[in-house]
Amino acid sequence: MPQTTTGAAPLSKTFVGRLILTPEHGPVGTVVQVQGKGLPADQTLDLRWESYDARWHIEQRDGVDWNQFYGFKLSERVEPLLQVRTDAHGAFSARLQAPEDYGGVHDVYLMLGERKLNKAGFRLDLSVEMSPEQGPAGTPIALTVKGLNPAHPIEGWYQLYYDNALTGFVTALTTRGTTRVEIPAAGRVGQHLIALEDASFGVPYLGLECSPYSYLKTFQLLFELTPGEPALPGRVQEQLQPEQPRPAPAARASGPQLWSDDVEVPVGSAFTFFGSGFPQGGELELRWYDITGDRVSEMQEGRFGTGFAEMPTSLGAVRADAQGNLRWKAAPQSIQGGAHAVEAWHSGRCLAKTYVRLSKRAHPLRPKAGPIGTPITVEVDGVSWTEHENLVAITYDNSLVGYACGNDLMGKVLAKLHSSGEPGWHFIDVYPAFRTRRFSTGMDDPILEVPYLYQKPIVSWADHPHGFHFRYAFEVQAFKESAK
């Protein structure tokens, strides 16, 4: 799944002296004693930390994220830690703090200029902090996780559990191993167990202590749910990702150019389109493209790409001014999320093209209260057709209920679930999820892919390529009360 690139110079065949780190492992911030012996005397040496950068690997089209999701990519990164000075005997002693970075083993190189004299390894361990430790129903419980290591197929992929029920995956791919997850306090008054378990195959392996990965840590934290007024989420209509302005171009190339004021806005919002270099006074048509189709026909054809087609609609006609510039405000009627091509046409020819993105917008819960077993509809617009944006995954009281996709209704999800639990407030969360590649790339057995991220909530949603999160509150009422 991951692809790596390397370019580090090889270590000298002859080690010089010794480099000792004490301790050899610990969480972010661990104070490490560094000692060197038998090194060149009276020299200034550099300590360098070897690591990597990671990013999600998604098919690109004209520089924007398109359909296929290929996992992730890694690239090498080396950073300075500190400088040391050896004494007349070629020794030094120093202290440093383990940096905030991806977890796992990192090489620490001792350098004389660009020559590698020696190295030692330090394992950055996983750590978790929770705050607060108590509160009433709905209290946002924040978990800060440090030291996740996505470069390793096993040790960097964890799932979150609430009272032994799966909530979702915790990832920190684009955030250097550190992530923050926030879940609502849910259930009865009293203690609740929050657990972080290694789950690279999609479910935790409960025999870690007897496996080659016995060094991996799991975490069990207790939260005390107290009586009191519930902490209810804000109106879901206001839980939107902010608009992403597009910087005005400093200088445009020759020829027709088209761009927008924002890169991304929520479904239902307006864009202002700008252009330059068009025929002076010429009439232009702006065309907006949605993607129609589904993966069912794609599976029947047996070939990728056969299940989808681009469908243009007109955003209207606009006339360029005497300098060949244009400005046009439009609110596309599309509710399909993701990247959309916008083209400027003149006299039967496409003269310029740009891309804009629509992000998700949730509707109010229907209904908001009722007895146990009440059918509930979660409605979200702006779901894309692509593998990384096609699904929403839903939890009820921090327990995964299921997922839904947005193909059939051109970007709309209507997810059905039923209320449960004791009378009082319960919480429904909507997260991003990746679509399994079984349906889109014909993999023979994608369950063997590690990590197996698919169809489950990415509760560290800000790490998702185009993350989002919505939270609802539903009140379960006693039967007699609801029957009045």
Question: What is the CATH number that goes with domain 3-124?
Answer: 2.60.40.1930
Is the pLDDT at 407 greater than 80, yes or no? no
Evaluate whether 248 touches 277 at the Cβ level (below 8 Å). no
Paired tokens of 323: 């300098």
Domain boundaries along the sequence of the chain: 3-124, 127-225, 244-359, 360-482
Query: What is the distance between the alpha carbons of residues 284 and 328, in angstroms, rounded to a whole number?
Result: 11
Query: What is the distance between the alpha carbons of residues 138 and 187, in angstroms, rounded to a whole number?
Result: 9
Residue of 465, 409, 400 whose CA lies nearest to 264: 465
Is the pLDDT at 306 greater than 60, yes or no? no
Residue of 141, 140, 166, 161 whose CA lies nearest to 400: 166
- Predicted pLDDT of residue 15: 85
Query: What is the distance between the alpha carbons of residues 473 and 397, in angstroms, rounded to a whole number?
Result: 10
- The 3-state DSSP class for residue 448 equals helix
Residue of 220, 204, 265 whose CA lies nearest to 456: 204
Q: Which CATH architecture has domain 360-482?
A: Sandwich (2.60)
Tens digit of each residue's pLDDT (9 = 90 or more) over 220-263: 999 999 999 999 999 998 888 888 888 777 666 678 999 999 99
- Predicted pLDDT of residue 203: 87
User: What percentage of the chain reaches a pLDDT higher than 70?
Assistant: 90
Topology (CATH level 3) of domain 244-359: Immunoglobulin-like (2.60.40)
Q: What are phi and psi of 157, to 5 degrees?
A: -130, 110
Is the pLDDT at 110 greater than 90, yes or no? yes
Looking at residue 127, its amino acid is S
Paired tokens of 206: 């409960």
Tens digit of each residue's pLDDT (9 = 90 or more) over 178-236: 999 999 999 999 999 999 999 988 888 888 889 898 989 999 999 999 999 999 999 99
Burial 18-45 (b: 16+ CB within 10 A, else e): ebebeeebbbbebebebebebbeeeeeb
Q: Biggest alpha carbon distance in the chain? A: 90
Paired tokens of 265: 């806005």
Query: What is the distance between the alpha carbons of residues 360 and 466, in angstroms, rounded to a whole number?
Result: 10
- Predicted pLDDT of residue 373: 96
For 175-282, list the strands marked E by DSSP. 179-184, 190-198, 219-225, 244-245, 257-260, 262-266, 271-276
Q: CATH topology of 127-225 equal to that of 360-482?
A: yes
Paired tokens of 460: 């560290």
Is the pLDDT at 274 greater than 70, yes or no? yes
Other beta carbons within 10 Å of 88: 7
Topology (CATH level 3) of domain 127-225: Immunoglobulin-like (2.60.40)
Q: What are phi and psi of 210, to 5 degrees?
A: -105, 15
Burial 361-389 (b: 16+ CB within 10 A, else e): bbbebeeeebeeebebebbbbbbbbbbbb
pTM exceeds 0.85: yes
Query: What is the distance between the alpha carbons of residues 400 and 42, in angstroms, rounded to a whole number?
Result: 61
Residue of 301, 406, 308 whose CA lies nearest to 66: 308
- The 3-state DSSP class for residue 223 equals strand
Query: What is the β-pairing status of strands 179-184 and 190-198?
Result: unpaired
Tens digit of each residue's pLDDT (9 = 90 or more) over 317-330: 999 999 999 999 99
Looking at residues 91-116, what average pLDDT do you find?
A: 96
- What is the CA 114 to chain-centroid distance, rounded? 36
Is the pLDDT at 3 greater than 50, yes or no? no
- The 3-state DSSP class for residue 267 equals coil
Looking at residues 329-345, what average pLDDT do you find?
A: 96
Evaluate whether 84 touches 34 at the Cβ level (below 8 Å). yes
Q: What are phi and psi of 5, to 5 degrees?
A: -130, 140
Query: What is the distance between the alpha carbons of residues 173 and 177, in angstroms, rounded to a whole number?
Result: 6
Looking at residues 75-93, what average pLDDT do you find?
A: 97
- Predicted pLDDT of residue 484: 40
Looking at residues 395-414, what average pLDDT do you find?
A: 93
**Higher per-residue pLDDT: 422 or 10:** 422
Which DSSP string corresponds to 338-373? EEEEEEEEETTEEEEEEEEEEE-EEPPPBSSEESTT
- Predicted pLDDT of residue 5: 41
Is the pLDDT at 35 greater than 80, yes or no? yes
For 269-423, list the strands marked E by DSSP. 271-276, 283-293, 308-319, 326-330, 338-346, 349-359, 361-362, 369-370, 375-381, 391-396, 399-405, 412-418
Tens digit of each residue's pLDDT (9 = 90 or more) over 436-476: 765 445 554 555 677 888 999 999 999 999 999 999 999 99
Query: What is the distance between the alpha carbons of residues 369 and 382, in angstroms, rounded to a whole number?
Result: 26
| CA atoms in the 13 A half-sphere facing the CB of 179 | 28
Is the pLDDT at 135 greater than 90, yes or no? yes
**Mean pLDDT over all residues of the chain?**
90
